[in-house]
């Protein structure tokens, strides 16, 4: 699976780094307080005589019960405010805007300023702010790309904005972080951070319309795609397939996975997915089309042209 496993301890950009720093500060303050407590406890338990007297006890009481927690909580509170300010900063003017819509159980991805639609994987240029506009088409989902940012909910009735930036190229794996039904765990997303040149090459490719099928098998597959129900749910730009219930398949072959991270995207898995979608991801809207093996091979020959 092309999903990275570095997690939030391996920040790939400034937003995640800010959260990571705050986390470590809280951890070390917690550790220091706990160690101090253990030392005092050990001392109290091992003392022979109690010659401290009420004055010293009261000093300890105030120091440990009021001053120490007040100092620690104030420091954490102040650090959290600083981090929150840094995180809520607005995106730069030249930010890439990406609209992400949560569905049960996949991610619809659009670049309104670039005219691109895709699903479950999105490309971003390194070193540039990315403004994610999040909403849901059904229930509450939550986007979490641990190496790039904190979690943020996708809600049906409003748009939440998450700004992030990747400084290093790489595939940053993410997931839905809010229970959203049967296939919540199979709702993966990947941010692919790359150089400005590679990003614009990707954008050009996604904007293009794939060449029409050139073999008779692929042509037959295109015909089957149009008449067996695929086209009712999926869009392939440049054709009559304009369904919007499932992922846009115009450039399906440029994506790494099928079913939001369920399977690796190759023709064998794709064939298996089309034959038995409910076995791979029970509860999704997709049903297997009523096709013979030969017809599914034709369908695959067509899908292979969607580059």
Q: Is the dihedral of CA 227, 231, 232, 237 positive or negative?
A: negative
Minimum distance, C-beta of residue 183 to ligand CUA, in the bound complex (Å): 8
Minimum distance, C-beta of residue 286 to ligand CUA, in the bound complex (Å): 17
Minimum distance, C-beta of residue 137 to ligand CUA, in the bound complex (Å): 11
- By beta-carbon proximity to ligand CUA, the closer residue of 210 and 261 is 261
Q: Which residues bind ligand CUA (CB under 6 A)?
A: 102, 105, 141, 176, 178-180, 184, 187
- By beta-carbon proximity to ligand CUA, the closer residue of 28 and 179 is 179
- By beta-carbon proximity to ligand CUA, the closer residue of 102 and 213 is 102
Q: Concatenated DSSP letters for 86-151?
A: HHTPPPPTTPEEEEEEEETTEEEEEETTTTEEEESEEEEETTS-EEEEEEESSS-EEEE-TTT---
Minimum distance, C-beta of residue 116 to ligand CUA, in the bound complex (Å): 22
Contact status, residue 293 vs residue 238, Cβ threshold 8 Å: no
Question: Would you state the torsion angle of the CA atoms of residues 20, 24, 25, 31, taken in this order, to the nearest 10 degrees?
Answer: 160
**If DSSP codes are grouped into helix, strand and coil, which group holds residue 164?**
strand
Continuous segment of H or E residues that includes residue 73 = helix 68-87
- Give the contacts of 191 (CB within 8 A, at least 6 positions apart): 121, 122, 123, 124, 145, 148, 166, 171, 172, 174
- By beta-carbon proximity to ligand CUA, the closer residue of 76 and 139 is 139
Minimum distance, C-beta of residue 141 to ligand CUA, in the bound complex (Å): 3
Minimum distance, C-beta of residue 93 to ligand CUA, in the bound complex (Å): 32
For the chain, the maximum distance between any two Cα atoms, rounded to a whole number of angstroms, is 98
């Amino acid at each position: 699976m092309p999903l990275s496993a570095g997690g939030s301890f391996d920040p790939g950009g400034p937003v995640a780094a800010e959260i990571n720093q705050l986390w470590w500060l809280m951890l070390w303050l917690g550790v220091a307080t706990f160690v101090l407590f253990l030392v005092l406890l050990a001392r109290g338990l091992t003392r022979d005589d109690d010659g401290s007297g009420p004055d010293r006890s009261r000093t300890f009481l105030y120091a440990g019960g009021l001053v120490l927690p007040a100092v620690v909580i104030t420091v954490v509170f102040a650090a959290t405010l600083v981090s929150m300010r840094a995180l809520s900063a607005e995106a730069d003017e030249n930010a890439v805007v990406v609209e992400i819509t949560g569905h049960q159980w996949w991610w619809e991805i659009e670049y309104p300023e670039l005219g691109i639609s895709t699903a479950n994987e999105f490309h971003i240029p390194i070193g540039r702010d990315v403004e994610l506009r999040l909403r849901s088409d059904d229930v509450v989902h939550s986007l979490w790309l641990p190496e790039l940012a904190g979690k943020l909910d996708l809600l049906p009735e409003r748009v939440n904005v998450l700004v992030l930036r990747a400084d290093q190229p790489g595939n940053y794996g993410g997931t839905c972080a809010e229970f959203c039904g049967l296939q919540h765990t199979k709702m993966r997303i990947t941010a692919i951070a790359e150089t400005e040149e590679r990003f614009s090459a990707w954008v050009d490719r996604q904007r293009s319309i794939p060449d029409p099928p050139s073999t008779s098998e692929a042509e037959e597959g295109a015909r089957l795609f149009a008449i067996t129900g695929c086209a009712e749910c999926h869009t392939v730009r440049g054709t009559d397939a304009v369904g919007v219930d499932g992922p846009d398949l115009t450039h399906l072959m440029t994506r790494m996975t099928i079913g939001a991270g369920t399977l690796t995207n190759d023709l064998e898995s794709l064939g298996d997915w089309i034959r038995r979608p409910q076995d791979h991801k029970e509860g999704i809207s997709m049903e297997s089309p009523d096709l013979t093996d030969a017809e599914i091979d034709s369908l695959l020959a067509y899908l292979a042209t969607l580059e």
